[in-house]
Structure 1
């Protein structure tokens, strides 16, 4: 096992546990022990608190009783409120990722956002689901699973509102087993049928609050994964958490997301065993990963393709900026293939090499120039597909597509605050600037030529030199990796 240099290790941790950190932060870590740095990463800033990203309250939207009697015009207005609300929620969360002093919490939330993939046209439901994910992102997986499973967003999306005694709907029970806990192939069809009976009666009321409808619940005896009883939904979740396969399934997904796309079965078995016996404590699992020597192996460092959100948030955490219209971030997400709150299917974004195709790669390489030189878009975003639902969901998808098409040719007007970034290199000599910039922004610098960077840099001033070298480094294929 080849462990990389200490500074590269720190950058590796900063990217895997967040969205990268600027030179002053990395430098402040250099004289500290790994345990101290990892602890800081896990708990965030001493005064760190979870900032709300909410955009609406329950009173902002009509209740369900009224919705049933809406006119066509009222329904259209409601769709527009929801569409705008979800765009605002997206931008608020992105802003929180950029400014957070606890980036691991937002990074974990981004992971769980894909794990608990859900599409709903209701902005309040999206907001509630995101709040549960962010509140429990580093806590106990059992608490997170229970909280998410009881959100109106998930109950609606997976049809459990229609799951009633004598007429069970299996969709929710199946996805809880297949996608949220054990993974496909680790349960029988009979287990799904019996679990669906246990989840009967789980729903939500007109205010969008979870409710147990006792009269619609099947309180008969069920047989689930070898256990027998008059189980309800909470009992099913406990039975699933009792299965060591659940710990292994979750650990494998976390390993592939935070460590390596290619699972190491031995490491995963060890991590999953500790995760299970910790009572599914997520922060403890992440500590095990970040404290392990193998996490800093040269074969793991810089081998992961950044997701579109990681790429965009990373650029904006590195160099402070604002946009004339923040909505441009929605366009970047759509073009790059990861629009928050619009996962492609129930399994979420596949990630890895799936982020890259011929058109998205070329645009990825241009993103820093488009932003930092305020260029115009010249690529039409792919359309969202309305496959995850019909009706209002379909109509709202069309609204999003129309909005993005109207935006795509517009110039990106970004106000860049270069001063903090440039100040971060104040102690670096002129001849070492290019190497230092590349060394901070990249985990792999083998293919980066200082001579080439010098050739295309604006050397008219130290400030312009730092700016142009930074943009050039960010425009390399290596910057797509972390």
Structure 2
């Protein structure tokens, strides 16, 4: 594979795709230089901050229906602001790798909370540590009000331990199922008693309700705290293996390769869980660029939307419509289906979802009309359909403006239609795609047709 094709693959997996404007900047680089460029662009941490104020439900007078209604409305507005704010950040920020990995950790530490402030706080923990120290991130996530609330650790008290957080910490965040016992769950829960948060959203270790007794966890006995449990879980190489398996499926191939994953786990474990080092190892490995590992992953809905936004400079006259696209395609940011997150892969596609996915690019690029099916929130229907009638379908104009002039101007003079198709699509050009290319009378029409093919759904 040539360096330019490797760079294209790198940007597809370590970001949200390589646009023609990006291509001009990297086309003369070696793959090693391109990898360095990707990390350098994501070195700085720029927090997501569309939510400027914390809404405290404790200030809402009990029995005051109007005050409660106003609070819920403000909370809903903040949820939309947060969602749209992150989409815009992913669509415009140069820190593609940091945002791509923030999206990975957003799903690894899947969490739902009604508080947009807590959601933003947790998202910025993922972002700050996305390329850093996994132990620091794991500890901060475990102490975040969003996660403490979601997994009920606020209710975890001595003599009445709540096991929810302790169980998911092992099953989904670290060693994985089969590498601990039910007794380990019980003992771990005791160690996390007292971990909670105050009304300001700050972590507090409430000593008065912490179990100070001896605990036996993973074969060791002592007066363990939550920090001790986290340390012991990271001492188990199963944690590195579990996380690297998920990383491999996210960045390389849905079908795990034991040898490659073991090599990743060795790097992750011996580097004391340095995320950047394991990512660098992946991007510099020859197997990352094998034909079997290119153009083979199904884009998540957010990847699809953000990739279109970046490539075609899409602007939204009504940014709130983004959430309805997410809902229709099956991935609403900050609202995973459960604590295990979105399963991804083939689960992104069924007969109805594929239809919408194939329509989405042309709708966004040509300000089309789309019927949003499923069960949209009533408030979504208000701004989408223009009325408050509750239904299972809402038709709306996308209200988008694609930067076609800028996109076309980015294409270097002399670029053939085939080369344009090769830049837009990750899989090798097949007979059907070449037929689209060969019959095209103009570039804009060809591009609109190419991004509506099943091949565009892969990267």
TM-score using structure 2 length: 0.94
Q: Distance in 1 between matches of 2:66 and 2:190?
A: 39
Aligned to 1:422: 408
Q: Is the 8 A contact 2:166 2:185 kept in 1?
A: yes
Structure 2 residue aligned with 1:383: 375
Are 2:320 and 1:337 equivalent residues in the alignment?
no
Match of 1:462 in 2: none
Pick which of 304-313 and 230-239 moved more: 230-239
3-state SS of 2:337 partner = coil
Q: Name structure 2 gaps, 5 residues minimum.
A: 388-392
Cα deviations by residue, 1:273-307 (Å, 9 ceiling, x for unpaired): 11001010001110000000000000110000000
Residue 408 (structure 1) aligns with: 394
Counterpart check, 1:192 vs 2:189: no
1:62 to 56, 65, 68: 56
Q: In the alignment, what sits opposite 1:300?
A: 293
Partner of 1:123: 116
Measured in 1, the distance between the counterparts of 2:159 and 2:187 equals: 12
Q: CA separation in 2, counterparts of 1:136 and 1:90?
A: 20
**In the alignment, structure 1 residue 156 sits paired with structure 2 residue 153:** no
Residues in 2 aligned to 1:400 and 1:251: alpha-carbon distance in whole angstroms = 38
CA distance in 2, matches of 1:307, 1:174: 28
CA contact (8 A) 2:193 2:211 kept: yes
> How many pairs does the alignment contain?
452
Q: Please name the residue that 1:239 is paired with.
A: 232
Shift in alpha-carbon separation, 1:404–1:134, aligned structure 2, 3 A: farther
> Which aligned pairs between 1:245-324 and structure 2 lie closer than 5 A?
245-324=238-317
SS of residue matched to 1:220: coil
Contact preservation (8 Å) 1:222, 1:228: yes
Matched with 1:438 is 421
Is the Cα contact below 8 Å between 2:324 and 2:372 reproduced in 1? Answer: no
| Matches of 2:220 and 2:365, distance apart in 1 | 59
Report the aligned-residue RMSD: 1.9
CA distance in structure 2 between the partners assigned to 1:234 and 1:76 by the alignment: 40
1:243-298 Cα distance to aligned partner (Å, 9 max, x none): 11111111111111111101111111111011001010001110000000000000
Helix, strand or coil: the match of 1:439?
Answer: helix
Post-superposition Cα deviations, 1:430-468, rounded to whole Å, max 9, x if no partner, equal xx2x2011110112212344443343x4x4xxxxx2221
Q: Distance in 2 between matches of 1:467 and 1:40?
A: 30
Q: Is the 8 A contact 1:118 1:154 kept in 2?
A: yes
The answer to whether the 8 Å contact 2:143/2:203 transfers is: yes
| Higher relative contact order (CA closer than 8 Å, sequence separation 6+) | 1
Which region of structure 1 is more displaced relative to structure 2, 207-216 or 413-422? 413-422
Shift in alpha-carbon separation, 1:165–1:372, aligned structure 2, 3 A: same
Conserved 8 A contact 2:8-2:18: yes
Q: Mean alpha-carbon deviation: is it higher for 219-228 or for 399-408?
A: 399-408
User: What corresponds to 1:133 in structure 2?
Assistant: 126
Q: Is the 8 A contact 1:45 1:102 kept in 2?
A: yes
Q: Which residue of 2 aligns with 1:453?
A: 437
